[in-house]
Amino acid sequence: MTGMNRQIAVSQTLALNTPGRVPFSVEFMPPRDDAAEERLWNAAEAFHDLGVSFASVTYGAGGGTRERTLRVAERLATKPLTALVHMTLVNHTTEELQDMLRGYAERGLTNLLALRGDPPGDPNAPWVKTEGGLEYAKELIELVREMPECENFDIGIASFPEGHYRAPDLDADTAFTLEKLRAGAQYSITQMFFDIDHYLRLRDRLARADREHGSKPIIPGLMPITSLRSVRRQMELAGASLPSDLERRLLDAANGDEVKNKDAIREVGIEVTTEMAERLIAEGAPDLHFMTMNNVRATQEVLHNLGMAPAWGPDLGHDMVR
């Protein structure tokens, strides 16, 4: 644990909210090569300087990324940043999950996002539980709660403004999300969405169904829009829908040629993301969680528009901010 700060619980960072200023957080992905590695640490420095409240690290299927997520989270914590490690059930037995949890506990990495994950390769393929493993994210929360080494863990979960694509309907989705909150999760981070009403309805559904657990903080996940291609990809991956007025604005900016007018699309995309963030702030969102893909610039521009960051450029102290 050399050089590492004691990690603040993510749920506490939400409570420490400075009056008049909504905290923001970022999602990072473990890098796959040297260039990506440099980009990640550049981003970590930049967001550190901008006062990010916590940085989450995604977790992919397969053995290799297990080490990568751990290594990135460990280094983030030395910055010091509050690191939130994502963990999934994919390809792991319960013993392996316990081993990993012990590894995090030993390193003082006490913030966990408990997830099930998707089948590797094709997220839409039927889910098959690993032999000797777990079926639902809720069971991972229960596992953590049974381990004395993990008694100070602060646990978050995924929530889905439009309902999870495998849930039979929104009522079932609400019930399953509540089960995770009742099992000991303190907050949720949402799948990305483009229609604020979906976020507000999720919040209403949960609070109505269970005043105590359903009112735990719901952190909106935001992906700054930089191209039509990225929006379409996210809609496909996350099952998020695009409100027609927003689609119209982006298509108008494209003016029939996405490549030629990419700068205009980006400009509108950042404007739209800023408006989404403004509305979320007005609606009392506890934090804005930016899915950064390890890039700084788009998030920085949105934060700047919100009055939460200086203008992009050398005044930030980074020559390589992207």
Ligand X SMILES: Cc1cc2nc3c(=O)[nH]c(=O)nc-3n(C[C@H](O)[C@H](O)[C@H](O)COP(=O)(O)OP(=O)(O)OC[C@H]3O[C@@H](n4cnc5c(N)ncnc54)[C@H](O)[C@@H]3O)c2cc1C
Query: By the criterion CB under 6 A, which residues form the site for ligand X?
Result: 58-60, 86, 88, 115-118, 136-138, 158, 164, 166-167, 173, 176, 180, 189, 191, 221
Residue 179: active-site member: no
Residue closer to ligand X (CB basis): 167 or 251: 167
Q: Among 153, 174, 154, which Cα is nearest to 164's?
A: 174
Cβ 137 to ligand X, closest distance in Å? 3
Q: In what order do the strands lie in the sheet with 24-28?
A: 218-219, 187-190, 154-159, 111-114, 83-87, 55-57, 24-28, 288-291, 221-222
Residue 187 CA to chain centroid, in angstroms?
12
Nearest approach in angstroms of CB 222 to ligand X is 11
Query: With respect to ligand X, which residue has the nearer C-beta, 190 or 253?
Result: 190
Q: 27, 74, 162, 301: which is the annotated catalytic residue?
A: 27
Q: What's the Cα-to-Cα distance from 242 to each of 251, 280, 285, rounded to whole Å?
A: 12, 17, 20
The set of residues, in sequence order, having a beta carbon less than 8 Å from that of 132 and lying 6+ positions away, is: 93, 94, 95
Instruction: State which residue, 60 or 269, has the beta carbon closest to ligand X.
Output: 60
Q: Which residues have CB under 8 Å from 30's CB, separation 6+?
A: 40, 57, 58, 60, 65, 68, 69, 71, 72
Nearer to ligand X, 92 or 304 (CB): 92
Residue of minimal CB distance from ligand X? Answer: 166
What does the alpha-carbon distance between residue 2 and residue 303 come to, in Å, rounded to a whole number?
32
Q: Least distance from C-beta 286 to ligand X, angstroms?
A: 14
> For residues 241 and 305, which CB has a smaller minimum distance to ligand X in the complex?
241
Least Å from the CB of residue 262 to ligand X: 28
CB of 80 to ligand X, least distance (A): 22
Catalytic amino acids?
27
